[in-house]
Structure 1
Amino acid sequence: MNTIDRTKNRTSKPRTDWTRQYIGGEWIEGTGEKTLENINPYNGETIASFKSAGKDDIDRAYKASLEAGREWAALPPGKREEVLRTAVAIIDERKDEIVDLLVRESGSTMIKAQLEWKSARRVTDEAASFPYRMKGDILPSDTPGKENRVVREAKGVIGMIGPWNFPLHLCLRTVAPALALGNGVVIKPASDTPITAGFLIADIFEQAGLPAGVLNVIAGSGSEIGDDFVTHPIPKLISFTGSTEVGRGIGEKAGRELKEVALELGGNNVMVVLDDADVDRAVEAAVFGKFLHQGQICMALNRIVIDASVYDEFTRKFVEKVKGLKYGDPSDPETLVGPLIHAKEVERLQKEIDAAVKGGAKLAAGGGANGSVLEPSVLIDVDPKQEIVQKELFGPVALLIQAKDEEDAIAIANDTEYGLSGSVFSGNIERGYRAAKRIETGMVHVNDQSVNDEAHVMFGGEKASGLGRFGGEWAIEKFTRSRWISIQQPYRDFPI
């Protein structure tokens, strides 16, 4: 079988200097007033220092994306597919570099960095099929001689505000589909991860042969350029992954400008363990779903609600397993729990633990810290009405809550403003499915934990966890527009 040589479209060597903005196909110094320091959260070393983007950079980036995006959208689908396929090949070739950057910049453990690389690759590979999946339609008409065509087109320019926790994957979840469908894209990466949430993505697509100007990256503090990034007249849609508080502000600003949004926000995700659950399997899944990437995942388990009949057994086995977890240096392949993104997050979580203990909960494991690493911690006998239960903790702190029965467990599960992901464990699959349908979240997983993301399946939450859906056909719908173009032949008669 003949294979395509994907090296023929390469336009540059991999970049090693991460101190420039990427605008109009050029790596240039930002025009902002601030200097950004990119710091390794584990050891405090400076990875890169660079000048922030300014308001003029936003304008230049959006204009470049608009102009180049028109030509990009007009290309045959095979041309856009080829760029995406080449990007996948580059992601494969640069795997070790990508994993290392994720470990150093976002504090990812090796386990998490490998999983993120795989997810980022998969979402880009899935997007490569999108140019051939943009479907129009022809509809009948009550007007004689009229043909109604519904065409699907690129939306225009997409503004992407990237997160720091899964920076590469969660940015590519917007960027790859948006590009594949013919849009221009401007990324504002998280200030804590400007490389893996922005500059690295630009470098990969530049290597892959993406025309200059289609993709732009401007890194700067939200206080300096955040509002202008959202309210600029060019972007048709703002995609944001991050906290509910910030997402609400973005939604309000975009709404005033009549812009669409794709908001994937916070979560207070639950695992419900029913009385017929396989406790050993539930414990294993819960530990992974809670402590992967130190719990700094929007889908991470926050609350584990256990039927009273199996509560003691589950608690004993869960605490024992957590006490055996390795934590510390994220570059050690055996480490599951690495550093939090900032040392101040350790202080925040320790205050939450102290308040919960004062309120009647018991600290069964962890609680201590070394620098930015918080020991994997478990609070048991937590009252579902305690304040800590209503918060998205975003850290390695598990809350174990006892429920009287299934009805009580479902009520506790739904007693939150959030609704992103969730989990149910039961020995009876259909019972688990029925319980899952009653949990008010966008995603629920039976006999699995809550951290699941597959590129071809819809992803999104309910309530305060966001608006819109990512993945597969849902991404195609989000990043394109439908237009009605009718054709009248022969000419119609009008009653005037």
Structure 2
Amino acid sequence: MSVSETTHLLQRALESECLFNGDWIPTSGSVMPVIEPATGEPLMRCAMASPADIAIASRSAALAQPAWAALGPRERAEVFRKAADLAQRSFAELALYVARETGGGLYKGEHEVREAIVLLHQAAGLLSQPHGLVLPSAAGRLSYARRQPHGVVGVISPFNFPLVLSLRSVAPALAAGNAVVLKPDPQTPVSGGFLIARLFEEAGLPKGLLHVLPGAAPVGEALCRDPNVRMIAFTGSTAAGRKVAEVAGRNLKKVALELGGKNPLIILEDADLDLAASNAAWGAWLHQGQICMATGLILAHESIAASLTRKLVDKARALTVGNAARGEAALGPLINQRQLQRVHEIVSDSLQAGARLETGGEYDQLFYQPTVLSGVRPGMRAFEDEIFGPVATVVSFASDEEAIELANRTEYGLSAAIISPSVGRAMAIGERLDCGLLHINDQTVADECINPFGGRGASGNGGSVGGPADWDEYSQWQWVTVKNTPPIYPF
């Protein structure tokens, strides 16, 4: 997107080559180009933060936060409503930019902006909910618990759905009375950061409450260490999440981790194969498989596995791959060369281990063809690893017990799904799956930003963000008692 194509909202962010602290400020770090994955062309030049910038931002946020927390809930809520209205009025501009920066289709950019608008309205609504509880106590004593902000929340977000995965933490954290230091992925600094900065800047968020500092791993580590930051909300790979948890835990911070997944879709023998294939294809290939909830294992009953595989092959060969943001294809590019090589290595290693390539397995530049692997077994990388690419992995099973064992044979525990007209049977299977999200008669990438979202095991640390979980994540309880006079104690 050339600057001449932009409207007022994003132009300042695209031209400034600055960080954001309520104002647009020079960085002590470097300035790097942001590359559009589909074209290889630069979209903008972005300021990259340094650890020194994190220290300055965190101190500033800590100073600004108390006044924000003391502001009335209606005044705070109005900021979110204004930001949502601005996002709606700038919908087309924002959707196109998100699609281009992430390498997604325009429909994917539109989805992110729609969800962002909901997240902003939801944050406003959070402030009209009860902020505490009156507790039972002895006569003559008032006992209650109230929710208190943590102070400064650090948010580290990824490249795949950067607007949603940043804002789902930024908006409720601010609504709960916190200040936020946001480190978006440097590959998607506008979608994951500066776009949000512009919305809140125009909506009148007081300065110093939101800081946007894209940067590499040392910047994230500085955020996890900084004494002014009391909570870290991280979304990304399991390997990076372990490092975040280690550093933040050593500094006694609350940590919310939303990590990877190897998500099983179980298709029983009585399923409608056309519907099942449609669900499996969407779950495996949406946004080139670069989704933590992507269908990583298609577990098909042995009596239908061959037929289902043929239908998936037909769908893969019918899908076009190219510049999806411009409407030229159904699927776009992977985010970078490193990710493409990793996807291809997993496919190649699995073929060497005995899996069968039904279609795909080829690429041109960053465009990886939708791929179908059959004959996949435990021990193969396609079975064990989160691929994060457009690869449908078909595994057959002979019984419900075997399907459950295969689905649970992973360190991950994010999303799972079951397709069958026998809803009772599907629910009985689902009750035995280790997952944070369970979908009966749907695929695994089934999410709404108003639901509590979280995984188990290597998919997260057991908490949830979104909807009713937001108050629990972004505030902490304070117990208060009140008496008319102090009691007399025995000593």
> Shorter-chain TM-score category?
over 0.9
What displacement does 1:332 show? 3.7
1:30 lines up with 2:27 in the alignment: yes
1:279 lines up with 2:276 in the alignment: no
- Letter of the structure 2 residue corresponding to residue 217 of structure 1: V
- Letter of the structure 1 residue corresponding to residue 54 of structure 2: I
The more displaced of 291-300 and 271-280 is 271-280
Q: Is the 8 A contact 2:102 2:160 kept in 1?
A: yes
Aligned mates of 1:72, 1:36 — CA distance in 2: 33
1:107 lines up with 2:103 in the alignment: yes
Q: Secondary structure at the match of 1:466?
A: coil
Aligned mates of 1:50, 1:491 — CA distance in 2: 59
What displacement does 1:41 show? 1.1
Q: Is the 8 A contact 1:145 1:490 kept in 2?
A: no
Structure 1 stretches of 4+ with a deviation exceeding 4 A read none
Deviation readout 1:432-485 (Å, 9 max, x if unpaired): 111111111100111101112222211000010002201111011110111011
Aligned mates of 2:46, 2:311 — CA distance in 1: 48
Aligned mates of 2:53, 2:193 — CA distance in 1: 15
Q: Is the 8 A contact 2:20 2:197 kept in 1?
A: no
Aligned mates of 1:137, 1:343 — CA distance in 2: 52
Deviation readout 1:73-96 (Å, 9 max, x if unpaired): 111111111110111111111111
Aligned to 1:3: none
Match of 2:140 among 108, 128, 145: 145
Aligned to 2:169: 174
- Letter of the structure 2 residue corresponding to residue 360 of structure 1: G
- Letter of the structure 1 residue corresponding to residue 442 of structure 2: D
Deviation readout 1:33-68 (Å, 9 max, x if unpaired): x33221111111112224421223112211222222
Q: 1:430 to 1:334 in 2, by over 3 A?
A: farther
Aligned mates of 1:242, 1:128 — CA distance in 2: 26
What displacement does 1:413 show? 0.5
Aligned mates of 1:74, 1:261 — CA distance in 2: 25
Q: Is the 8 A contact 1:162 1:170 kept in 2?
A: yes
The aligned runs of 1:326-341 (5 Å cut-off) are 326-333=320-327, 335-341=329-335
Match of 1:475 among 454, 461, 470: 470
Q: Secondary structure at the match of 2:324?
A: coil
What displacement does 1:145 show? 2.6
Aligned to 1:42: 38
1:460 lines up with 2:454 in the alignment: yes
The aligned runs of 1:11-22 (5 Å cut-off) are 14-18=10-14, 19-22=16-19
The more displaced of 485-494 and 402-411 is 485-494
Aligned to 1:126: 122
Aligned mates of 1:60, 1:252 — CA distance in 2: 23
The aligned runs of 1:312-351 (5 Å cut-off) are 312-333=306-327, 335-351=329-345
What displacement does 1:334 show? 5.8
The aligned runs of 1:292-441 (5 Å cut-off) are 292-333=286-327, 335-441=329-435
Deviation readout 1:238-273 (Å, 9 max, x if unpaired): 001000000000001111111001110010011000
Aligned mates of 1:163, 1:212 — CA distance in 2: 25
Residue correspondences, number: 482
Aligned to 1:8: none
Aligned mates of 1:14, 1:412 — CA distance in 2: 47
Aligned mates of 1:51, 1:216 — CA distance in 2: 13
Q: 1:51 to 1:111 in 2, by over 3 A?
A: closer
Aligned mates of 1:385, 1:364 — CA distance in 2: 20
Q: Is the 8 A contact 1:37 1:48 kept in 2?
A: yes
Aligned mates of 1:349, 1:159 — CA distance in 2: 30
1:75 lines up with 2:65 in the alignment: no
The more displaced of 451-460 and 246-255 is 451-460
- Letter of the structure 1 residue corresponding to residue 73 of structure 2: P
Aligned mates of 1:325, 1:356 — CA distance in 2: 23
* Coordinate RMSD, CA, aligned: 1.5
Q: Is the 8 A contact 1:290 1:396 kept in 2?
A: yes
Q: Is the 8 A contact 1:271 1:301 kept in 2?
A: yes
Aligned mates of 1:13, 1:355 — CA distance in 2: 46
The more displaced of 102-111 and 456-465 is 102-111
What displacement does 1:232 show? 0.2
1:135 lines up with 2:131 in the alignment: yes
Ranges in structure 1 where 5+ consecutive residues have no aligned partner: 1-11
Q: Secondary structure at the match of 2:331?
A: coil
The more displaced of 241-250 and 14-23 is 14-23
Deviation readout 1:102-123 (Å, 9 max, x if unpaired): 1221101112222222222222
Q: Is the 8 A contact 1:58 1:218 kept in 2?
A: yes
1:215 lines up with 2:210 in the alignment: yes
TM-score, normalised to structure 1, is: 0.94
Q: Is the 8 A contact 1:23 1:61 kept in 2?
A: no
Q: Is the 8 A contact 1:292 1:336 kept in 2?
A: no
Aligned to 2:53: 57
